[in-house]
Structure 1
Amino acid sequence: MSTPSLALRRAPDATAIIVMIALCGAWGFQQVAIKEANASIPPILQAGIRSLIATLLVWLWTRSRGVPLFQRDDTLPAGLLAGLLFGGEFVCIFFGLSLTTATRMAVFLYTAPCFTALGLHWFVAGERLARAQWCGIALAFCGMALAFADGFLHGNPNGASTWQGIAGDTLGVLAGLFWAATTVVVRASTLAHASASKTLFYQLAVSAVLLLALAAGVGQTHIGVVSPLAIASLAYQAIVVAFISYLTWFWLLTRYMASRLSVFSFLTPIFGVTFGVLLLGEHFTARFMIAAAMVLAGIALVNRPARRV
């Protein structure tokens, strides 16, 4: 896949905006799909199967387009690291959703853009944070602290103990950290010059091996009666999210300015909270709603395009 030069990348047009909104909706629904499938398929095993299916789909897609995946280009060490971090992210998401709600996970997970901005500031030249971005990070982290306080004061809305809920929330934050670390590795290593398909293949393939091995190691390989809804949820995660949406996102990055596309990231937790309330009947307090608004506002500030001077 050829990548246009930065000079050829443009601001999002109507098509890109519509596609980005659809992607954010798909990503926001992912937490609901995982939680539904968790009732039938152990979390870590579910995550491994998801990555395995998506790996096979990416491989078939690249073969059909003649995109090379296995030539030597010095990306293997960085690819393995990115895959391990990607796998760690989904260990935290899938296990965390067995302890906390999809609504809360959506907010904690999508603190990732703030962690990404910090990582890029420290490790990638030319990615220095402006004053507004520092303010956004501070606002998002204050919102995250308020959300944790809400969990302590009101207990776990997922039906388990308060401490289990806090553990689930913490895993959501760790998932955001892993996600951010994956992005920084991709941007700061030889993967920055690899094709999007190869970068995605590394993440999916390595995480599939890691997650399936971990599932076997911790005894999460037994599957009981699997409902049609669980199968549909797993298929959605593997085909729609891990394959179609990720490739679409990378395609957008080759044609449009990444800073302008990233502004839309605050929509994903909005979709996640909405789907959790409407489809799973989850509830949240006014304090948590304020905390979520602070996180969303912080993400918007972090991703605000730099002012031209």
Structure 2
Amino acid sequence: MNQTASLPAGTGLSPRILACLAATWLVWGSTYLAIKYALLSFPPFFQMGSRFLVAGVVLALWMRGRGAPWPNRRQWLNALVVGGLMLGGGMGGTATAEQSVGSGLVVAFIAVMPLMIAALNLLWRVIPSRLELAGIAVGLVGVLMLTLGQGFGASPAGLVAITTACACWAVGSVLSQRALPLAPGAMGFASEMLAGGLVLMLLSLGSGETLSQPLRAEAVLAWSYLVVFGSLIAFNAYMLLLAEASASLASSYSFVNPVIAMLLGVAVAGEVISAFEWLAALVVLVGVVLLMLGRRR
């Protein structure tokens, strides 16, 4: 994967970039509810690990059939680090948090991701503008409000899990752009899913997860949805955005996903979100919008 490339001025967004945006905005917004339903039969690390291993095998075999070479040793090592962070820590932590916190609130917290990425980019001397700093400050206030709401207040373990997940995902995203390139194209994404899936399965084994619950139809369907739409489509779309678009555009999903996830959580899963938590999510989104506007300027 190459480092982030900005689109040439005046060319607008290509159809491929628009399709990737639609996948990360709409599909990812629905996958958090699917994770909730998959947890009915599959424990968090096993659910995520098996999901990414299956998707990684399918994508890798498809790319080999098209003549793509296997990643070299260095690229596999990079995939292990990036996949371990983004998938092992990021997605594993997200599924763990959803065991005790509503999917809508989990995604509202995840909206802080662009703020974390902006902070990490300071290590590469990418200095935020005043408007970006204002967005970071507002977003952090919103996150603090979320932690004081009834959802996270009732589950300190869920708060720790989602905080860890966000930090791991942000670090992995920045490293994939700045320091640890993967194999070119979709083979790089496949190697990341395979490596991350292996890390997740080791976490599942180490934490003593077992498939003690009977397989329920809705859980199997949700897991299948996560493999096809969440991993093969949306995750690859996000990685392609990281490679071919600006970091701010790639992370723009974070202010669309919470709205979709919170509405689906309430309408489909009957999750209860207080007025204060809706307000906190709005404050987070305002911070993210300010951050994006500052980057565009």
Query: TM-score surpassing 0.5?
Result: yes
- Residue 279 of structure 1: which of 256, 264, 268 is its match? 268
* 3-state SS, counterpart of residue 75 of structure 1: helix
Aligned match of 2:47 = 46
Moved more, 90-99 or 3-12: 3-12
- Residues of 2 paired with 1:290 and 1:297: CA distance? 11
* 3-state SS, counterpart of residue 303 of structure 1: helix
| Cα distance change of structure 1 residues 58 and 103 upon mapping to structure 2, 3 Å threshold | same
Aligned match of 1:30 = 31
- TM-score, normalization: structure 2? 0.88
C-alpha deviation, 1:268, in angstroms: 1.2
- Residues of 2 paired with 1:19 and 1:190: CA distance? 22
Amino acid at match of 1:57: V
- 8 Å Cα contact 2:4-2:177 kept in structure 1: no
2:247 aligned with 1:246, yes or no? Answer: no
- Residues of 1 paired with 2:282 and 2:3: CA distance? 36
Moved more, 11-20 or 49-58: 11-20
Aligned match of 1:182 = 172
Map 1:42-121; keep pairs closer than 5 Å. Answer: 42-72=43-73, 74-86=74-86, 87-121=88-122
1:10-32 Cα offsets, whole Å, 9 max, x none, are: 43267744652343121111111
- Residues of 2 paired with 1:145 and 1:248: CA distance? 30
- Residues of 2 paired with 1:293 and 1:168: CA distance? 21
- 8 Å Cα contact 1:106-1:272 kept in structure 2: yes
| Cα distance change of structure 1 residues 14 and 206 upon mapping to structure 2, 3 Å threshold | closer
1:211-248 Cα offsets, whole Å, 9 max, x none, are: 11221222212243212211111011111111112223
2:159 aligned with 1:169, yes or no? Answer: yes
2:224 aligned with 1:222, yes or no? Answer: no
| Cα distance change of structure 1 residues 222 and 273 upon mapping to structure 2, 3 Å threshold | same
- 8 Å Cα contact 2:115-2:139 kept in structure 1: yes
- Residues of 1 paired with 2:142 and 2:80: CA distance? 33
Aligned match of 2:138 = 139
| Cα distance change of structure 1 residues 71 and 218 upon mapping to structure 2, 3 Å threshold | closer
2:267 aligned with 1:268, yes or no? Answer: no
| Cα distance change of structure 1 residues 256 and 85 upon mapping to structure 2, 3 Å threshold | closer
- Residues of 2 paired with 1:78 and 1:18: CA distance? 27
- 8 Å Cα contact 1:28-1:268 kept in structure 2: yes
C-alpha deviation, 1:132, in angstroms: 1.0
Amino acid at match of 2:178: A
Aligned match of 1:148 = 147
| Cα distance change of structure 1 residues 20 and 120 upon mapping to structure 2, 3 Å threshold | same
| Cα distance change of structure 1 residues 196 and 177 upon mapping to structure 2, 3 Å threshold | farther
1:182-232 Cα offsets, whole Å, 9 max, x none, are: 0111122141x7424244233211221121122122221224321221111
| Cα distance change of structure 1 residues 271 and 210 upon mapping to structure 2, 3 Å threshold | same
Q: How many residues align?
A: 295
- Residues of 1 paired with 2:179 and 2:3: CA distance? 17
Aligned match of 1:299 = 288
- Residues of 1 paired with 2:288 and 2:106: CA distance? 16
- Residues of 1 paired with 2:91 and 2:4: CA distance? 31
1:266-309 Cα offsets, whole Å, 9 max, x none, are: 1111111111111111121111111100111111122226455x
Structure 2 stretches of 5 or more lacking a match? none
* 3-state SS, counterpart of residue 72 of structure 2: coil
Q: What is the percent sequence identity of the aligned residues?
A: 24
- 8 Å Cα contact 1:55-1:205 kept in structure 2: yes
Amino acid at match of 1:272: A
Please tell me the root mean square deviation across aligned C-alpha atoms, in Å: 2.7
- 8 Å Cα contact 1:91-1:211 kept in structure 2: yes
- TM-score, normalization: structure 1? 0.85
- Residues of 2 paired with 1:195 and 1:236: CA distance? 26
